[in-house]
């Protein structure tokens, strides 16, 4: 899957992943109203609306970007109907040729981490049949519990040729509260990054490892340092756009081959139609607005990378 991701980035020229993070504020009014007419005001209506919204977005952008990243929290808040929409979204995006990064930030220990890995990347034997649950291509993983939490994911990834992105330095203002703490002159995030490089060595694709990292666009100097610590790890970069990260900040996250990083934008793309700049598309043109926003983002990154 890391090879497919790299090939997709080369083919589209867009090191961009579109965050499919539906919220009530982002779903266009006409879609939500239609769902409420059909299902009444209910979790079912929310699930149906999310699915229609996402399908429109995927149809519009599937040739322009290599990957999408649904944030499962945004689906989980609507319970089972929300997770049904997550499931449909993953399967549909894959069918359209997109790599799917499940932004699930799971992390537990031993058999529990194995269960998460199975649910999101692997398969489970039931009776005489092998069954697959959510079946994303990549998952994001939280490292707080140490190797016991990560190794079960790596085992499943090795079998499935899939990958993970481990949280190293997140994009939020308070990420430093624990991640920036220094012991013996080294920050926690740097220690995690070293482990990412080590875990990754055991699981290499053609040029990059199946074990990537998350480093926020809002901390470009960290990106520069971590790029060197994990030369073979793809860096998933959140925080561009709505959270304040800019194109020029992204340079440091890439290797000299122009690869090694993939930048996420969620609201900036899927909610572009609510942005003054793209307002002329109107609610009904939300998918076309997303296409324009992707093109603008691609240009912003390309011009920064020179």
Sites for its own copies among residues 32-61 (CB under 8 A): 32, 36, 40-43, 45-46
Taking CB under 8 A as the criterion, the residue among 5, 18, 118, 196 binding its own copies is: 118
Shortest separation between residue 73's beta carbon and its own copies, angstroms? 4
Q: Who contacts 252 (Cβ-Cβ below 8 Å, separation ≥6)?
A: 220, 221, 223, 224, 227
Cα(64)–Cα(296) distance, integer angstroms = 12
Shortest separation between residue 200's beta carbon and its own copies, angstroms? 16
171 binds its own copies, rule: CB under 8 A: yes
Yes or no: say if 229 and 204 are a contact pair by the CB < 8 Å rule.
no
Which of residues 14 and 150 has its CB atom nearest to its own copies in the complex? Answer: 150
Stretch binding its own copies (CB under 8 A), from 61-69, 80-88, 196-204, 229-237: 80-88
Q: Segment 140-159, which members bind its own copies (CB under 8 A)?
A: 142-149
Shortest separation between residue 211's beta carbon and its own copies, angstroms? 16
Cα(32)–Cα(304) distance, integer angstroms = 38
Which of residues 59 and 182 has its CB atom nearest to its own copies in the complex? Answer: 182
66 binds its own copies, rule: CB under 8 A: no
The residue annotated as part of the active site, out of 34, 94, 105, 161, is: 105
55 is catalytic: no
Q: Give the strand pairing for 182-183 and 186-187.
A: antiparallel
Say how many residues touch its own copies, by CB under 8 A: 73
Yes or no: say if 104 and 151 are a contact pair by the CB < 8 Å rule.
no
259 binds its own copies, rule: CB under 8 A: no
Shortest separation between residue 48's beta carbon and its own copies, angstroms? 11
Shortest separation between residue 299's beta carbon and its own copies, angstroms? 27
Taking CB under 8 A as the criterion, the residue among 7, 59, 173, 299 binding its own copies is: 173
306 binds its own copies, rule: CB under 8 A: no
194 binds its own copies, rule: CB under 8 A: no
Q: Who contacts 261 (Cβ-Cβ below 8 Å, separation ≥6)?
A: 15, 223, 227, 234, 235, 236, 237, 250, 253, 254, 255
Taking CB under 8 A as the criterion, the residue among 4, 12, 13, 23 binding its own copies is: 23
Which of residues 94 and 296 has its CB atom nearest to its own copies in the complex? Answer: 94
Which of residues 14 and 230 has its CB atom nearest to its own copies in the complex? Answer: 230
Taking CB under 8 A as the criterion, the residue among 9, 20, 74, 217 binding its own copies is: 74
- Residues with catalytic roles: 105
């Amino acid at each position: 899957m890391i090879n497919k991701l790299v090939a997709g980035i080369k083919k589209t020229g867009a090191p961009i992943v579109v965050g499919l993070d539906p919220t009530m504020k982002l779903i266009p009014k006409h879609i939500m109203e239609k769902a409420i007419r059909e299902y009444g005001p209910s979790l079912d209506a929310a699930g149906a609306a999310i699915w229609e919204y996402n399908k429109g977005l995927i149809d519009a952008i599937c040739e322009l970007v290599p990957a999408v990243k649904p944030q499962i929290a945004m689906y989980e808040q609507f319970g089972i109907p929300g997770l049904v929409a997550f499931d449909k979204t993953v399967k549909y995006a894959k069918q359209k040729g997109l790599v799917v990064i499940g932004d699930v930030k799971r992390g537990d220990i031993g058999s529990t981490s194995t269960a998460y890995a199975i649910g999101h990347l692997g398969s489970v034997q039931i009776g005489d049949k092998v069954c697959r649950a959510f079946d994303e291509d990549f998952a994001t993983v939280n490292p707080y519990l140490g190797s016991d939490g990560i190794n079960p994911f790596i085992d499943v990834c090795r079998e499935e040729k899939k990958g993970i992105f481990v949280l190293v330095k997140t994009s939020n203002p308070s990420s430093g509260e624990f991640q920036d703490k220094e012991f013996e002159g080294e920050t926690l995030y740097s220690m995690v990054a070293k482990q990412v490089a080590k875990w990754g060595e055991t699981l290499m694709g053609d040029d990059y490892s199946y074990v990537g990292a998350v480093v926020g666009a809002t901390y470009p100097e960290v990106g520069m340092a971590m790029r060197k610590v994990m030369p073979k790890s793809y860096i998933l970069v959140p925080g561009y756009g709505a959270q304040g990260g800019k194109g020029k900040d992204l340079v440091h996250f890439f290797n000299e081959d122009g690869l090694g990083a993939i930048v996420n934008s969620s609201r900036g793309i899927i909610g572009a139609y609510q942005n003054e700049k793209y307002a002329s598309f109107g609610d009904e043109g939300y998918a076309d607005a997303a296409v324009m926003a992707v093109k603008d983002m691609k240009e912003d990154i390309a011009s920064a990378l020179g």
